[in-house]
């Protein structure tokens, strides 16, 4: 017993250490990558025709006049590079310091705090991911059960082909096709935006399609595996209908691995939402990153979005992992 | 061999042929625009129709195969090479290389959404084919390293490796001649699945405008251009054909990967 507790504490500490390492890496990446931007960010944002005073003011406001890192290799008057030590007062430590205060700097474009831009967009992304997951589950469970209980028949093959299509068609192909059918041809749904309740249907379906396909395959193979277990024979022998056997007994056991995949996929959905949001003009974090950040060269917004999306992904995975360990004692130690 | 693997191999063979002989296969110039010929439906002159600027979609899909395969091959070869070297060193010698690679890189990079990292890098470095390939290699090598490290740790303990060591073989000889040949099979499976991933990532980044810049006929760029509402209305085929090309390519590499895995792992074959 005592060893189990010690192992579990060790496991949690190890996980937290890894989390800290990941956070450090992500923050370092987003702060250092900005130094690789070809050309001067001030010129990229203000344009060539801005006055020297405007450039100076812009650099000062965004801290770009400060040294980039602990050291750098600037060119001297002869064009040769030399090592210069700047000390701890630099842009890298600036970013860390403001981050610890919950500040991600100001947008290069409209001077609004990046954190409030992100918080405005965050709910839309979460909403999209949750709906996508719901659609995936609603589609996958019946499809998987039907395929699994009718193994080898035409029904099974059709379900497998649909699942295969869902896996191999990327969202940026499925999405525009759905727009074509449901918005352009049938006129039932809007092609983009987030105004009406029905606007989430197409994006959520697009984002959930791949997950749905993966889940269908998993449910199918779980059902097939569980159907050969002894308890199924017992349930059948005591006179339960096949329907009761499948939905009351088989599904309950077969869903354990499915739940884990769901948790792990939440993070994947959040990252995949970038493309879906772009397709449907869904005003979430992904659209903020792609259009306002990358499209308008607002590197502060890019930094903030990359940081928040990756942290959400990492934390979602961590929580799933912990929940899974807690639910299934067999893998608790390890 | 399983039927789906053969289908996959046939698709890839066709794709490679098309990519190699693109200038002879493509009936029109990929860049030639002609507004009088825009939005034409598929016909005997334009097999896949024309797009919003009157370019021949068949020719563009044919040349697109070049970009996809080029990115896929370079990314897989470079990532597999770097991953194999670092994974083998980490697994065989252990030490600080192992501590950095398996303790830090595996935990951190595999805890991170790969596509997001690629998007971030290309966003800062600027769009372009070479930068895209660089970004995909940086996220790609980790998977190979983990695979090879695991294989090396396993094979290192086998009797024939011990025997070779007892006979006085050098570490390099043991690694190259005894361990790696035994670790190569799963690498081929991983490489095949990696091709699917690289083709998909290239299309996704190009779709987001972060890949190969526009006039070049990347499948992802073609889809991005075709999803504009007026184009979608007038010429849905401009979306469908590059979409089919991506799906078939990804599917084929996945079929090959799955088939090889089953073939190489008899336990799975029995099912």
Spell out the residues 6+ positions from residue A203 whose beta carbon is closer than 8 angstroms to its own: A128, A132, A175, A276, A277, A279, A280, A282
| Contact call for B232 and A179, based on CB within 8 A | yes
Q: What is the mean pLDDT of residues A262-285?
A: 84
C-alpha–C-alpha distance, residues A232 and A238, integer Å: 10
Q: What is the mean pLDDT of residues A278-290?
A: 90
Structure tokens at B214: 């526009």
Q: What is the mean pLDDT of residues A139-145?
A: 87
C-alpha–C-alpha distance, residues A35 and B128, integer Å: 18
Instruction: Enumerate the residues of chain B whose CB falls inside 8 A of the CB of residue A310.
Output: 112-113, 116-117
C-alpha–C-alpha distance, residues A31 and B15, integer Å: 41
C-alpha–C-alpha distance, residues B88 and B92, integer Å: 6
If you write DSSP's letter for every residue of A229-262 in order, what string do you get? Answer: SHHHHHHHHTT--HHHIIIIIIHHHHHHHHHHHH
Mean of per-residue pLDDT scores for chain B: 84
C-alpha–C-alpha distance, residues B92 and A55, integer Å: 54
C-alpha–C-alpha distance, residues A51 and B45, integer Å: 55
Q: For residue range B14-33, what is the model confidence (pLDDT) as tens digits?
A: 999 999 988 888 777 787 77
Q: Which of B107, B111, B113 sits opposite A271 (nearest CB)?
A: B113
Q: Residues B55, B35: contact at Cβ < 8 Å?
A: no
pLDDT at B269 over 60: no
The pLDDT value recorded for residue B257 is 87
Q: Residues B124, A299: contact at Cβ < 8 Å?
A: yes
Q: Does A295 touch chain B (CB under 8 A)?
A: yes
The pLDDT value recorded for residue A330 is 56
Q: What is the mean pLDDT of residues A22-41?
A: 81
Q: Which of A21, A168, A272, A315 to mutate to test the interface with B (most CBs of B within 10 A)?
A: A168
Q: For residue range B41-60, what is the model confidence (pLDDT) as tens digits?
A: 788 777 777 777 778 888 89
Q: Does B233 touch chain A (CB under 8 A)?
A: yes
Q: For chain A, give the percent of residues with pLDDT over 70.
A: 95
Q: For residue range B131-167, what is the model confidence (pLDDT) as tens digits?
A: 889 989 988 888 898 888 888 888 888 888 888 888 8
Residue B229, CB half-sphere, CA atoms under 13 Å: how many?
10
C-alpha–C-alpha distance, residues A201 and A190, integer Å: 10
Give contacts of A 264-293 with B, CB under 8 A: 267-268, 270-272, 274-275, 278-279, 289-290, 293
The pLDDT value recorded for residue A331 is 52
Q: Residues B59, B29: contact at Cβ < 8 Å?
A: yes
The pLDDT value recorded for residue B82 is 93
Instruction: Enumerate the residues of chain B whose CB falls inside 8 A of the CB of residue A181.
Output: none
Q: For residue range A83-93, what is the model confidence (pLDDT) as tens digits?
A: 888 778 888 88
Instruction: Enumerate the residues of chain A whose CB falls inside 8 A of the CB of residue B226.
Output: 176
Q: For residue range B63-96, what is the model confidence (pLDDT) as tens digits?
A: 999 999 999 999 999 999 999 988 888 888 878 8
Distance from CA of A34 to the nearest CA of B (A): 6
Between A330 and A99, the higher pLDDT residue: A99
Q: For residue range A36-47, what is the model confidence (pLDDT) as tens digits?
A: 777 777 777 777
Neighbours of B211 (CB within 10 A): 29
Q: For residue range A205-226, what is the model confidence (pLDDT) as tens digits?
A: 899 888 888 888 888 888 888 8
Q: How confident is the model at residue B248 (pLDDT cuts 50, 70, 90)?
A: very high
Q: How confident is the model at residue A333 (pLDDT cuts 50, 70, 90)?
A: very low
Q: How confident is the model at residue B1 (pLDDT cuts 50, 70, 90)?
A: low
The pLDDT value recorded for residue B270 is 46
B168-177, B182-191, B259-268 — which is least confidently predicted?
Answer: B259-268
Residue B166, CB half-sphere, CA atoms under 13 Å: how many?
7
Q: For residue range A169-213, what is the model confidence (pLDDT) as tens digits?
A: 888 999 898 888 888 888 788 887 787 787 888 899 899 888 888
C-alpha–C-alpha distance, residues B180 and A45, integer Å: 51
Tell me what ipTM this predicted complex has: 0.83
The pLDDT value recorded for residue B110 is 74
Between B152 and A267, the higher pLDDT residue: B152
The pLDDT value recorded for residue A288 is 92
Per-position b or e across A142-170, b if 16+ CB within 10 A of its CB: ebbbbbbbeeeeeebeebbebbbebbbbb
Q: For residue range A154-169, what is the model confidence (pLDDT) as tens digits?
A: 888 888 888 888 888 8
The pLDDT value recorded for residue A327 is 63
Q: For chain B, give the percent of residues with pLDDT over 90.
A: 18
Structure tokens at A229: 């277990």
């Amino acid at each position: 017993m005592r060893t189990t507790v010690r192992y579990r504490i060790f496991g949690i500490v190890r996980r937290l250490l890894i989390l800290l390492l990941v956070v450090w890496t992500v923050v370092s990446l987003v702060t250092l990558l900005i130094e690789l931007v070809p050309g001067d960010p001030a010129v990229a944002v203000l344009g060539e025709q801005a006055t020297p005073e405007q450039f100076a003011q812009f650099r000062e406001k965004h801290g770009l006049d400060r040294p980039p890192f602990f050291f750098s290799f600037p060119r001297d008057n002869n064009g040769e590079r030399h090592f210069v030590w700047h000390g701890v007062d630099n842009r890298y430590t600036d970013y860390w310091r403001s981050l610890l205060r919950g500040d991600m700097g100001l947008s290069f474009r409209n001077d609004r705090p990046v954190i409030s831009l992100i918080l405005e967009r965050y709910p839309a992304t979460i909403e999209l991911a949750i709906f996508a997951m719901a659609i995936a589950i609603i589609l996958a469970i019946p499809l998987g059960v039907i395929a699994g209980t009718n193994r080898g028949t035409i029904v099974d093959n059709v379900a497998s082909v649909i699942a295969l299509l869902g896996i191999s068609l990327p969202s940026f192909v499925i999405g525009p096709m759905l727009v074509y059918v449901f918005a352009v041809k049938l006129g039932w749904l809007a092609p983009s935006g987030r105004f009406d309740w029905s606007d989430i249907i197409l994006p959520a379906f697009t984002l959930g399609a791949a997950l749905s396909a993966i889940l269908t395959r998993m449910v199918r193979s779980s059902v097939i595996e569980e159907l050969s277990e002894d308890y199924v024979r017992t349930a059948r022998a005591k006179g339960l209908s096949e329907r009761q056997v499948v939905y009351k007994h088989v599904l309950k056991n077969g869903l354990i691995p499915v739940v884990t995949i769901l948790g792990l996929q939440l993070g994947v959905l959040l990252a995949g939402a970038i493309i879906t949001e772009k397709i449907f003009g869904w005003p979430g974090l992904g659209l903020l990153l792609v259009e306002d950040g990358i499209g308008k060269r607002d590197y502060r917004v890019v930094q903030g979005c990359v940081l928040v999306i990756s942290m959400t992904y990492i934390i979602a995975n961590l929580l799933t992992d912990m929940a899974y360990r807690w639910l299934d004692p067999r893998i608790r130690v390890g | 061999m399983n039927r789906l693997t053969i289908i996959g191999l046939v698709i890839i063979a066709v794709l490679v042929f098309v990519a190699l002989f693109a200038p002879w296969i493509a009936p029109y110039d990929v860049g030639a625009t002609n507004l009088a010929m825009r939005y034409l439906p598929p016909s005997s002159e334009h097999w896949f129709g024309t797009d919003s600027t009157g370019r021949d979609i068949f020719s563009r899909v044919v040349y697109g195969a070049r970009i996809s395969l080029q990115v896929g091959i370079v990314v897989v070869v470079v990532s597999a090479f770097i991953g194999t070297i670092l994974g083998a060193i980490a697994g065989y010698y252990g030490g600080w290389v192992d501590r950095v690679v398996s303790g830090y890189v595996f935990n951190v990079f595999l805890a991170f959404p790969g596509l997001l990292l690629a998007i971030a890098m290309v966003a800062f470095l600027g769009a372009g084919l070479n930068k895209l390939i660089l970004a995909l290699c940086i996220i790609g090598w980790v998977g190979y390293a983990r695979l090879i490290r695991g294989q090396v740790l396993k094979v290192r303990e086998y009797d024939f490796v011990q025997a070779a060591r007892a006979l006085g073989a050098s570490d390099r000889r043991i690694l190259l001649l005894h361990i790696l040949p035994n670790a190569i099979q799963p690498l081929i499976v991983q490489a095949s699945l990696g091709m699917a991933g690289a083709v998909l990532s290239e299309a996704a980044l190009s779709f987001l405008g972060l890949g190969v810049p526009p006039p070049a006929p990347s499948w992802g760029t073609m889809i991005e251009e075709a999803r504009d509402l007026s184009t979608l209305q007038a010429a849905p085929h401009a979306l469908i054909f590059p979409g089919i090309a991506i799906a078939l390519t990804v599917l084929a590499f996945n079929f090959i990967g799955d088939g090889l895995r089953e073939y190489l792992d008899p336990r799975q074959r029995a099912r």
